[in-house]
Amino acid sequence: MANRKIVVALGGNAILSKDASAQAQQQALRDTAKTLVAFIKQGDQLIISHGNGPQVGNLLLQQAAGSTEKNPPMPLDTAVAMTQGSIGYWLQNAMNEVLVENGLETEVATIVTQVEVSPDDPAFITPTKPIGPFYSKAECDLIKAAHPEQTFVEDAGRGYRRVVPSPRPIGVIEASVVNQLVSAGIVPITVGGGGVPVVRDNQRFVGREAVIDKDFASEKLAELVGADLLIILTAVDNVFVNFNQPDQKRLEAVSVAEMKDYIAQDQFAKGSMLPKVQAAIDFVESRPESSAVITSLENVGRFLEKGDGTIISMSPVPSQS
């Protein structure tokens, strides 16, 4: 079925492998673009989102190493915006190259996107999202003395890391801009890294030191723009239950109710698969006629051809494979 409005959320492996150089990340994104162009070739309206975890961590390291009193490091919300810009620049260039190679005249544009969060979100009271490098106890004490507003925790015996809030998104400020671009036949790259976290202050929005989960931000965007499909790309072709056990089971067409049962059984790892499953459920519940897919970038071709992947809906239809 063509002409669907599809939000595709790219996982970190679509951008960065072991090589953090600009050249390596640009090449990874060009390979990613070759996969994503298949949606456009079949007539779908594509909206692309992406993570920025490694990139924003690297940027914070660079800022910490090179900052001085006269050249202070930028706050976290600004660092998120900076990586939205750099990754978007690479990705839109990669998409443009591949579109031209395929004889397509579609244009691509990056939006530096603000995502609204609640100032009363409990995440602001209990920061949990680790960012940046590991520090010794002595280094940590020095940083805390200089920045008493920052929170650090001991991380599995590896040292101390700064933790920041990870609030849930409640709105996407540029959602209407995204829809205008889609209506004009332009592919938007948006909510990069979960978006710049902002809170409403009367008629303005103010950035907050936080990191929003990319999958939850992508879900909120898909909901607000009225997407037909949310595709969350990760490192595996399917979601599994009893993962890595002798009786592990691949999930294919599955209902929201079944996924909620699996969550209750603690089947999905909190730091990796659980937020993707929760985001997929949130989207389908907000738009019951739609579906969400969790699969890998490498499996996109098989998904388009045969419906392979984990497809979550209110009333699932068996895959064609």
Active site residues: 12-13, 129, 214, 276
Q: Residue 315 and residue 88: Cα distance in Å, rounded?
A: 36
Please list the residues that pair with 1 across neighbouring strands: none
Q: Which helix (H) or strand (E) holds 244?
A: none
H-assigned helices in the chain = 22-41, 53-66, 76-101, 137-146, 175-183, 214-225, 256-264, 273-286, 300-306
286, 293, 289: which is closest to 312 by C-alpha? 293
Q: Residue 277 and residue 148: Cα distance in Å, rounded?
A: 36
Per the CB < 8 A criterion, the answer to whether 82 and 110 are in contact is no
Per the CB < 8 A criterion, the answer to whether 197 and 115 are in contact is yes
